[in-house]
Amino acid sequence: MSPGNLNCGRDLEQMAGDEDNKPRILVDADGCPVVDAAISLAARHQLSCVLFCDTSHELEKIGAKTIVVDQGADSADFALANHIRHGDIVVTQDYGLAAMALAKKACVFNQDGRQYTADNIDMLLNVRYERSKQRRKTGRGSRIPKRTQEQDKSFYQSLHGHICQRDI
């Protein structure tokens, strides 16, 4: 999915540069609904895309490098965190991983295009904690509604806008 009306106003010559200095898009791919959109954006902006997953979610996608780690609690999250460089773009719905990425000066987005920042991560971690207490108390979690096209579009536009704004 790549809406054609989005344009950074830059040509390919402006985007040329040392690959090692360019940010990468790192995706927590275990159950991530926007893997294809992240790969599409990486290709569009000539960025590398790296997918992190464990052996129970193993996937290979054209246009991305995949790093597969042993199955285990948060194993893909820790592998991703260990690969983050300053300025990388991380896609995750995990608040703990988002906090680690922010500490390493990465830009972090969730699957709906919401950006995690130093201003909102503490509140999000607290909400996660309170919800886990509630789940332990009641034995049930909240029902997650089916993903919509609007959510996919919001993710694409947010990440595309961020890349363009940074003039990557």
Q: What is the pLDDT of residues 20-66, one digit of tens each?
A: 688 999 999 988 999 999 999 999 999 999 999 999 887 889 999 99
- The residues near 142 (Cβ < 8 Å, ≥ 6 apart) are 131
pLDDT in tens, 136-146: 777 766 677 78
Answer positive or negative: Cα dihedral of 43, 45, 46, 52. negative
In a domain, 115, yes or no: yes
Q: Could you tell me which residue, 31 or 106, shows the higher pLDDT? A: 106
Residue 105 in domain: yes
Output the pTM of the full model.
0.80
**Count of structural domains within the chain:** 1
**76, 29 contact by CB (below 8 A):** yes
Average pLDDT over residues 117-144: 74
The range of the structural domain enclosing residue 131 comes to 23-142+149-166
In a domain, 18, yes or no: no
pLDDT above 70 as % of the chain: 83
* pLDDT reported for residue 144: 74
- CATH number of 113's domain: 3.40.50
Establish if 14 belongs to a structural domain.
no
Q: What φ, ψ does residue 147 adopt, rounded to 5°?
A: -65, 145
Residues 110-120: tens digit of each pLDDT: 999 999 998 88
51 by DSSP, 3-state: which?
strand
